[in-house]
Amino acid sequence: MGPAVGNQVILVLSLDPSGQLRWEKTYPTGGFAGALLWTLEPATDGNYLLGAKNYDDNRFPIPPAWVLKLDAAGNVLWQKVFGIQPEQIHATPDAGAILTGFPVCAPVCNQTILKLDAAGNIAWQKQYVFGSNTGLDSARPSADGGYLVTGTYAVGTGYNALLMKLDSSGNVAWQRGYTSSVCTSIGAGDILPVAGGGALMSVGCGYNTIVKLDQSGAIQWQESLKYQQISLVLYLGAFSPTLDGGYVTAGSVGSLSGTSALVALKVGPNGELQPCPAIKAQSPGLAPTIPTTVQASTASIGTADTTIVPGSVNVSVSPTQLMLGNACLY
């Protein structure tokens, strides 16, 4: 839940496989503005990682990243705030976390990555200096102990998508840029490392393109999707692998009138889609290009402890009124 209405808190529900409520907890900021939930992921130590932006912590020039480690019952094991505006927060194999974001811009927003250990302490922190206006989006651990990081960088009057490979200490091992013959500006969103050392990345004018990359960042296949109705825009978010070697992605489809609906897509191992008259594939025209050179330097991001105490609420779980529809008939 985000800021705008007073006294908003983060609400976490634990459900069993049948959808029955196990427990519920609230995590108040202690102020009026509230917090914007960013992520809730399982950690490798059996606990949970909760990441948010805290609008009520005034110890930093900007609303800081708020990271909590919860046990299996939702109790807070530790919590800290970090002086960056978070873009993405993800769990890492060592039961820690990796954060992308930036501190206050003066005037350039230096893109920053923080690596946290299992206790929430900063293991390392790096700023990534570009020769142009840029932004980092998602950072995820790769199988070799490093990280894959997505983003966007300015070229002329447009933007290209960016992919960086970092080593385990946050140093840049290699970097790739991607341009499009269809769009003058594109950006890279989420990235999912997959078996075999490659990755699946969302990229495009509206993050509507799925790109499969090999271990070096070379494009193996790409699938760009759009609705036949020109007034509908498709946005894709995060990916997850499926047992048959394919992938599932979720997002939204919206109209120019402001109405929108959730959408889920199943993609085969090589980008195959089930036939769908309303959704058509188009050539995104993505091709590798040389990105602006990114240089890493040591950052100095402030951190502080917090003392939020979780509360209990009386949530009753009941069937929703959501209508499950066919995206092909939207």
Measuring CA to CA, how many Å separate 3 from each of 49, 87, 145, 200?
21, 16, 36, 32
Q: In 3-state terms, what secondary structure has residue 124?
A: strand
Confirm whether 284 is domain-assigned: no
Measuring CA to CA, how many Å separate 307 from each of 1, 68, 69, 119, 327?
19, 11, 13, 15, 44
**Does the model's pTM come out above 0.95?**
no
Rounded to an integer, what distance in angstroms lies between the CA atom of residue 226 and that of residue 282? 7
Q: Which of 302, 313, 312, 326 is nearest to 104 (CA)?
A: 302
Look at residue 46 in the predicted model and tell me its pLDDT. Answer: 94
Rounded to an integer, what distance in angstroms lies between the CA atom of residue 239 and that of residue 248? 6
Confirm whether 229 is domain-assigned: no
Look at residue 265 in the predicted model and tell me its pLDDT. Answer: 75
Confirm whether 282 is domain-assigned: no
pLDDT tens digits for 245-291?
A: 887 777 776 655 566 667 777 777 777 766 565 555 555 566 767 66
- Residue in this structure with the two tokens 């108040």, named with its chain if needed: 28
Rounded to an integer, what distance in angstroms lies between the CA atom of residue 302 and that of residue 256? 42
Confirm whether 95 is domain-assigned: yes
**Half-sphere exposure (Cβ direction) of 41: Cα atoms closer than 13 Å:** 20
Strongest mean pLDDT among 142-151, 215-224, 272-281, 297-306: 142-151
Structural contact between residues 201 and 213, judged by C-beta atoms closer than 8 angstroms: yes
Q: Which helix (H) or strand (E) holds 283?
A: none
What band does 300 get if pLDDT is binned at 50, 70 and 90? low
Measuring CA to CA, how many Å separate 256 from each of 31, 209, 253?
36, 20, 10
Measuring CA to CA, how many Å separate 136 from each of 31, 88, 99, 211?
29, 9, 10, 18
Give residue 45's region: left, alpha or beta (phi > 0; psi -120 to 50): alpha
Rounded to an integer, what distance in angstroms lies between the CA atom of residue 113 and that of residue 149? 10
Confirm whether 262 is domain-assigned: no
Measuring CA to CA, how many Å separate 35 from each of 27, 47, 323?
9, 21, 29
pLDDT tens digits for 318-330?
A: 454 444 455 554 4
- Residue in this structure with the two tokens 């993505």, named with its chain if needed: 286
Rounded to an integer, what distance in angstroms lies between the CA atom of residue 163 and that of residue 147? 10
Rounded to an integer, what distance in angstroms lies between the CA atom of residue 142 and that of residue 201? 13
Confirm whether 174 is domain-assigned: yes
Domain count, the chain: 1
Rounded to an integer, what distance in angstroms lies between the CA atom of residue 59 and that of residue 70? 23
Confirm whether 206 is domain-assigned: yes
Confirm whether 261 is domain-assigned: no
pLDDT tens digits for 51-61?
A: 988 888 888 77
What band does 95 get if pLDDT is binned at 50, 70 and 90? very high
Show the domain range for 89. 10-221+292-314
Q: Compute the C-alpha angle 229/280/238, nearest 5°.
A: 100
Rounded to an integer, what distance in angstroms lies between the CA atom of residue 132 and that of residue 292? 7
Rounded to an integer, what distance in angstroms lies between the CA atom of residue 116 and that of residue 35? 21
Measuring CA to CA, how many Å separate 291 from each of 92, 100, 109?
27, 19, 18
CA 120 to chain CA centroid, Å, is 19
In the DSSP assignment, the letter for residue 311 is: B
